[in-house]
Amino acid sequence: MIPETCRRAARPLLLLLLLLPVACGRQKVEPRPTIPLVREILAEKTGPRAELLRGREPRPTSDITIIGSEFVCDRLAEQFSFRDRQDNVNASFQPDGLPDFAGETFVCIEDAGSYESVLKERGADELRCWTVQRVLAALDTAVHISPYDLQGLSSKRRSKLVVLADPFLAEYGGFDVDTLLSSTNCRIPVVRPVERMIDRAFAKKSREDLSVAILCDPQYASSGIYERIFTRKAAAQGLKGASCVVAPVVRRDSVLHMFLRDYLAAGQTRQLDAILVDDLSLSLDTLRAELSEVVSVMNESSMTIGRLIPEEFFFLSAFEEVSDCCYSFLREHNLFTHNIAKPQVMVFRPVRKPESEDDAIILIPGSYVQN
């Protein structure tokens, strides 16, 4: 039995131990370190960047921002603008003749160069910084009418949803953006199409030996970026036997036939559970029609390349995955503008801020032409 004098003496120590976690504050544990820019912003208690992020909520009157290269942003914004996969009244997957994103404005933050070149020439941390800077610009309202406008004489609406359209931005900076937004209680969603497509493939068939092919634009095929993302995602799922092959789309007809023949010619014999498509010029309906020919017992191909296709094979499209995700989010949270108008597209280019010592960026109109 503990004497009463000992119990009384222990009470202050016990109280101190109980209060210690509160006094110190609970620290967020990061699975891996983020970049200095993010740590710097998180250390700020006041100021424009802290105000920009802290507790930010999406609003119906805000815009949808697409960040990536010129080619990808332009094509993706066009696809979003013409998308008609769902009924605008009940959201069923039935076209109704009206754009699904009617009344919305898509703001493209476009870079002219290659992100792979930035990675090779300036390193991974620099590209991660680029990604964070562009997301911050998406959340801000400031627009500069030229690279020499120091005041920011124009403006845009904030973003209610951000799409990181390029796989390099998703891989190099996606984690940093997530860390920054979650740590500041910013509730603006940032969607990464390729990652979402790969996650969906794992969800549809979570097998240890999942085997997929990824068809993409030739400029990305040899970069290794898809393999890197797939390997990271597979490791997170604990799927040690999962594998993927990446192939460029170099023609617009007989795409599936040509890919499967090349796959066999390379010595591959493993059946494919799925083909994931990250090329906006490819139609899944066309690929599905071609698949029917490949596996038909009326065709010789069923005895050769047709054997690579199991019964539960499926296609996935990065655009369909990201557009379905965006549509569902806006509808579930009542964030559509409900304006009766065609979707609009605005283009901005990020450029280095004049007289900046930290490589900060500003946005200028895509139509700006140097005199």
Per-residue model confidence as pLDDT tens digits over 298-316: 888 888 999 999 999 999 9
The tokens for 125 are: 């941390």
CATH number at residue 230: 3.40.50
What mean pLDDT do residues 307-331 have? 96
Q: Are residues 177 and 247 in the same domain?
A: no
Q: Burial letters for 198-217: b for 16+ Cβ neighbours within 10 Å, e otherwise?
A: bebbbeebeeeebbbbbbbb
Inter-axis angle of helices 174-183 and 36-43, nearest 10:
10
| 201 found inside a domain | no
pLDDT of 18 reads 35
Pick from 285, 311, 337: which residue ends a domain?
A: 311
- Looking up tokens 């039995």 gives 1
Look at residue 56 and give its three-state secondary structure: coil
What mean pLDDT do residues 200-209 have? 85
Q: Are residues 40 and 162 in the same domain?
A: yes
pLDDT of 371 reads 52
Q: Are residues 270 and 346 in the same domain?
A: no
* Structural domain total, the chain: 2
The single-letter code of the amino acid at 93 is: F
Mean residue pLDDT across the chain: 89
| 4 found inside a domain | no
What mean pLDDT do residues 255-284 have? 95
Sheet holding 344-352, edge to edge: 190-191, 159-164, 63-69, 105-111, 344-352, 361-365
Q: How confident is the model at residue 369 (pLDDT cuts 50, 70, 90)?
A: low
Q: Are residues 47 and 147 in the same domain?
A: yes
Asked whether the predicted pLDDT for residue 1 surpasses 50, the reply is no
What mean pLDDT do residues 243-256 have? 91
| 14 found inside a domain | no
Q: SS3 helix, strand, coil % of the chain, rounded to 5?
A: 45, 15, 40
| 12 found inside a domain | no
Q: Are residues 84 and 217 in the same domain?
A: no
pLDDT of 123 reads 97
Q: Are residues 344 and 228 in the same domain?
A: no
Q: Are residues 151 and 227 in the same domain?
A: no
Q: Are residues 89 and 215 in the same domain?
A: no
pLDDT of 24 reads 33
pLDDT of 298 reads 81
pLDDT digits (tens, 9 = 90+) for 46-92: 888 889 999 999 999 999 999 999 999 999 999 999 999 998 888 89
Tell me whether strands 159-164 and 63-69 are parallel, antiparallel or unpaired.
parallel
Pick from 270, 294, 311: which residue ends a domain?
A: 311
Q: Are residues 215 and 359 in the same domain?
A: no
pLDDT of 169 reads 98
| 177 found inside a domain | yes
Look up the domain containing 54 and give its range: 36-193+320-365
Asked whether the predicted pLDDT for residue 10 surpasses 50, the reply is no
Asked whether the predicted pLDDT for residue 266 surpasses 70, the reply is yes
Q: Are residues 346 and 325 in the same domain?
A: yes
Asked whether the predicted pLDDT for residue 143 surpasses 70, the reply is yes
Taking the CA atoms of the chain, what radius of gyration do you get in angstroms?
25
Judging by beta carbons within 10 Å of its beta carbon (0-12, 13-18, 19+), is residue 297 exposed, middle or buried? exposed
What mean pLDDT do residues 249-278 have? 93
| 24 found inside a domain | no
Q: How confident is the model at residue 157 (pLDDT cuts 50, 70, 90)?
A: very high
Least confident of 52-56, 147-151, 357-361: 357-361
CA angle 113, 118, 122 (to 5 degrees): 150
pLDDT of 292 reads 94
pLDDT of 15 reads 36
CATH number at residue 43: 3.40.50.1860
Centre a 10 Å sphere on the Cβ of residue 237 and count the other Cβ atoms it contains.
16
Query: pTM for the whole thing?
Result: 0.88
Asked whether the predicted pLDDT for residue 239 surpasses 60, the reply is yes
Least confident of 3-7, 58-62, 178-182, 203-207: 3-7
Q: Are residues 328 and 300 in the same domain?
A: no
| 10 found inside a domain | no
pLDDT of 300 reads 87
Q: Are residues 151 and 211 in the same domain?
A: no
The tokens for 346 are: 């605005």
Pick from 269, 287, 311: which residue ends a domain?
A: 311
| 29 found inside a domain | no
Choose between 89 and 231: higher pLDDT: 231
What mean pLDDT do residues 174-182 have? 97
Q: For 279-301, give the DSSP string.
A: -TT--HHHHHHHHHHHH-TTSGG
